Structures are given as structure tokens and as C-alpha cells.
Amino acid sequence: MKLSNSITIMLASLMLTLPAHHAIASELDAHEHGSANLDIAIDTDTIQMSFESPAVNIVGFEYTTDDKQQLLLIKQATDFLSNVDALFSLVGDVSCQIVKSSANWVTEHEEGHKEHEDHDETPLSEHAEFIAEYELTCNQLNNLAAIKVNLFEFFPAIADLDVQVIYSGGQIKQELNSNNTLIELTH
């Protein structure tokens, strides 16, 4: 068991060291300062959203820190990102209940080695991200005309947000910025 585990880990780390593989495997994990990703999936009565941003866009730094003030900043940002109501407004005659709304500070080290649990000797990470997951249960989702993204007001360091939407009306890819914050959905 132990052996097979370490083989898995070896393979996993091998995957990470192969640049070509890494580049594609982490399509969703691309790390570009100033840019963030938002994936939205909508079906029948559920909206699921996942937001990922390099930490530098949110708090201005990306290293593991012991500094109290910086830890506080991370805490505040996580709390804020967990507030789905403030970050997004749904346009149209829909009423929703929040099922899940949580955000986490994730360093690249953790991301690459999700399989094994022990994090002793965590090296100072160079890349860190905020990952937030939201899930809403709604009535009358057919009335949802658009989703307005308010992230830019709170995090001006996000210059552009790459949005992918999968819903019954199709698959959309759109780039939002502070002047263009609306994801329009046609049914």
C-alpha cells in the first residue's frame, strides 16, 4: 500500500516536472497576475460557480507569511470572497438560496500534491491563489437574464476576468473587465 502510494506521488511529481504536460494539465490553473478565472455551470435549479485568482490580485502578495497583519489580510479576503451576495448580482426574476459559499487561500505546493496529506517542510511558496466555490439553488432559473460580476470594485488589481459559462443555452467564453461586468445569458 505504502509502495503504491509513493509511486503515485512519484508519478504525480513527475507530471509536474514535465513542462509540456504541466502546461496543459493546469489549463485551469494558469497563473497570470492581473487575470482571474470564473467558471459557471447552470442546470435546472442549480448555479455553481468557481472563482480562481492569483493571490496577488486580492491581497497584493503571494508568499506564505507569519506576519500578523498579512495573516489578517488573508483572513479578511477569504471572508469577503465567501460572500457570494456581494460579489455577484443575478439579473432577472429569480430567487436563490445559498448552498455553498466558501473561499480558500491555496499555495501552489498544496495544489500540486493534493494526494498526500502531510505538509511538513512546506517550502516558501512562490505562487498562491484564492479559490472560491459557490453554489446556489434557485427558482425559475429560466428567468435569469444575466449575471453581474462586482469583483472589480473590490479588487482593482484584477484587470481581466476570463469567464466560462456552461448552461442550457450554450457554452460561453467571455472576458470581463471593470468596464464590462455583465455576463448575458440567452435562453
Partner 1 sequence: MLTIFSIAMSVALLLGVEKVRVNAQSSFANTISGTDLIVGARSGSIQLLLYSVFRIGDATNNISFQSYQDIAQQKGVKWTIPISLGDSHRGFRVMGTSRDYFSVYQYGEQRTLEFASGKQFEGVFDAVIGSEVANVLNYAIGDQVIVSHGTGSASFTQHKDKPFVISGILKHTGTPVDRTLHVSLAGIEAMHVNWQGAVKKRKASKALTEANLQPESITAFLVGLDSKIASFKMQRYINEYKSEPLLAIFPGIALHELWNLMSVAEKALLIISMFVVLAALTGMLAVSLAGLNERRREVAILRSVGASHWHIMGLLITETVLLTIAGILLGLALLYSGIWLAQPIIEKNYGLFIPITAPNIRELGMVCVLLTASFIVGLVPAYRAYKNSLADGMSIRS
Residues near partner 1, by CB under 8 A: 11, 21, 24-25, 27-28, 39, 41-44, 46, 48, 50, 164, 166-168, 170-173
Q: Which is nearer to partner 1, 46 or 83 (CB)?
A: 46
**Shortest Å distance, C-beta 178 to partner 1:** 21
**Shortest Å distance, C-beta 46 to partner 1:** 5
Q: Which is nearer to partner 1, 43 or 153 (CB)?
A: 43
Q: Which is nearer to partner 1, 12 or 73 (CB)?
A: 12
Q: Which is nearer to partner 1, 50 or 143 (CB)?
A: 50
**Shortest Å distance, C-beta 138 to partner 1:** 13
Please provide the DSSP assignment of the chain as one string. Answer: -HHHHHHHHHHHHHHHH-HHHHHHHTGGG---TTEEEEEEEEETTEEEEEEEEEHHHHTS--S----HHHHHHHHHHHHHHT-HHHHEEEESS-EEEEEEEEEEEEEHHHHHTTT----TT----S-EEEEEEEEEEEE-GGG--EEEE-HHHH-TT--EEEEEEEETTEEEEEEEBTTB-EEE---
Q: Which is nearer to partner 1, 49 or 151 (CB)?
A: 49
**Shortest Å distance, C-beta 41 to partner 1:** 5
**Shortest Å distance, C-beta 169 to partner 1:** 10
